[in-house]
């Protein structure tokens, strides 16, 4: 392990002020009887507010399963996740759906766009789900697509968009309602290097705020530059937690935030 790595089994500081996502004793089994397989094993971890956290690890180690549980899309077999102080297990049925619609933006690996809607309509869906008129929701979708460099494609259907363009529509839809938690499953996989950097920069700019969290699953090493923290998974467990490259670079320019823990005040000035 590197010097920054801490054992994942370390008891996390309970009620850490800026632990926006608290994962406690989380396990997940798929299948029944002799087919039963444990895919996540007793995961305990915190994800800090105001940070972009990467979840990395080999294919099949459980990354998508873990973020699906964090986002309230899948329920755990054991343990629980609290988002911003609310245990997901305390939310039943519609209450969980409403909480998720308001608080969570999810970029699915396969995008999950609706093929009969335009890019702007797809991007505006969370606003429509929150009760806005179709016209207002579409306008919000359009504005978000504009920020992602997609102004020329707002009226296109999924079938008229490249993979990278569809990915940006999926990202716009995840950000449009200003959710406190944004979860992205391999958001740069369909993008070329330059677009990948643009998208990660926009994710930082739009979604990393003192009271917000971004979790990005990735295989893409170029994304490491944008991360505050990296959680490494292996075989259903988090095996190491370390600082990302962004953490060490950001000090001189980072705005002071209330969510930043009261460490020694730094008076760093740009070199």
Ligand X SMILES: Nc1ncnc2c1ncn2[C@@H]1O[C@H](COP(=O)(O)OP(=O)(O)O)[C@@H](O)[C@H]1O
| Given 10, 16, 30, 250, the residue binding ligand X (CB under 6 A) | 30
What is the rounded distance in angstroms from the CA atom of residue 167 to the CA atom of residue 234? Answer: 27
Inter-residue contact 120 to 142 (CB < 8 Å): yes
Inter-residue contact 68 to 215 (CB < 8 Å): no
Tell me: does residue 167 bind Mg ion (CB under 5 A): no
Work out what residue 34 binds among ligand X, Mg ion, none; the CB cut-off runs from 5 to 8 Å by kind: none
Tell me: does residue 53 bind ligand X (CB under 6 A): no
In 3D space, the residue among 121, 192, 191 whose CA is nearest the CA of residue 156 turns out to be: 121
The number of beta carbons lying within 10 Å of the beta carbon of residue 52 is 27
| Given 18, 64, 68, 188, the residue binding Mg ion (CB under 5 A) | 64
Q: Which is nearer to Mg ion, 18 or 64 (CB)?
A: 64
| Given 47, 56, 61, 199, the residue binding ligand X (CB under 6 A) | 61
Tell me: does residue 64 bind ligand X (CB under 6 A): yes
What is the rounded distance in angstroms from the CA atom of residue 53 to the CA atom of residue 159? Answer: 32
Report the DSSP beta bridge partners of residue 104: 181
Longest distance between any two alpha carbons in the chain, whole Å: 61
What is the rounded distance in angstroms from the CA atom of residue 142 to the CA atom of residue 152? Answer: 10
Tell me: does residue 165 bind ligand X (CB under 6 A): no
Tell me: does residue 65 bind ligand X (CB under 6 A): yes
Tell me: does residue 39 bind ligand X (CB under 6 A): yes
Work out what residue 126 binds among ligand X, Mg ion, none; the CB cut-off runs from 5 to 8 Å by kind: none
Tell me: does residue 126 bind ligand X (CB under 6 A): no
| Given 63, 100, 229, 237, the residue binding ligand X (CB under 6 A) | 63
Instruction: Please report, in angstroms and rounded to a whole number, the separation of the first and last CA atoms in the chain.
Output: 31
Q: Which residues bind ligand X (CB under 6 A)?
A: 30-31, 39, 59-65
Applying CB under 5 A, the residues found at the interface with Mg ion are 64
């Amino acid at each position: 392990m590197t010097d920054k790595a801490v054992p994942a089994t370390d008891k996390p500081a309970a009620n850490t002020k800026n632990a926006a996502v608290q994962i406690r004793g989380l396990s997940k089994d798929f299948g029944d009887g002799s087919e039963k397989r444990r895919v996540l094993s007793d995961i305990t971890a915190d994800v800090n507010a105001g940070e972009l956290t990467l979840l990395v690890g080999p294919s099949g180690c459980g990354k998508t399963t873990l973020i699906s549980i964090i986002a309230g899309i899948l329920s755990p077999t054991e343990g629980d996740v609290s988002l911003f102080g609310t245990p997901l297990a305390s939310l039943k049925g519609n209450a969980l759906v409403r909480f998720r619609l308001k608080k969570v933006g999810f970029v699915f690996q396969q995008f999950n766009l609706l093929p009969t809607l335009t890019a702007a309509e797809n991007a505006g869906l969370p606003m429509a789900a929150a009760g806005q008129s179709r016209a207002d929701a579409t306008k919000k979708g359009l504005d978000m697509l504009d920020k992602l460099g997609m102004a020329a494609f707002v009226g296109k259907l999924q079938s008229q968009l490249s993979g990278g363009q569809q990915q940006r529509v999926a990202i716009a839809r995840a950000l449009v309602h200003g959710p406190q938690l944004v979860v992205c499953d391999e958001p740069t996989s369909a993008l070329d290097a330059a677009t990948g950097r643009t998208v990660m920069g926009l994710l930082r700019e739009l979604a990393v705020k003192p009271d917000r969290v971004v979790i990005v699953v990735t295989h893409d090493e170029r994304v490491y530059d944008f991360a505050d923290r990296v959680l490494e998974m292996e075989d259903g467990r988090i095996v190491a937690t370390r600082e990302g490259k962004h953490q060490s670079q950001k000090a001189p320019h980072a705005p002071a935030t209330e969510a930043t823990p009261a460490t020694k005040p730094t008076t760093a000035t740009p070199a």
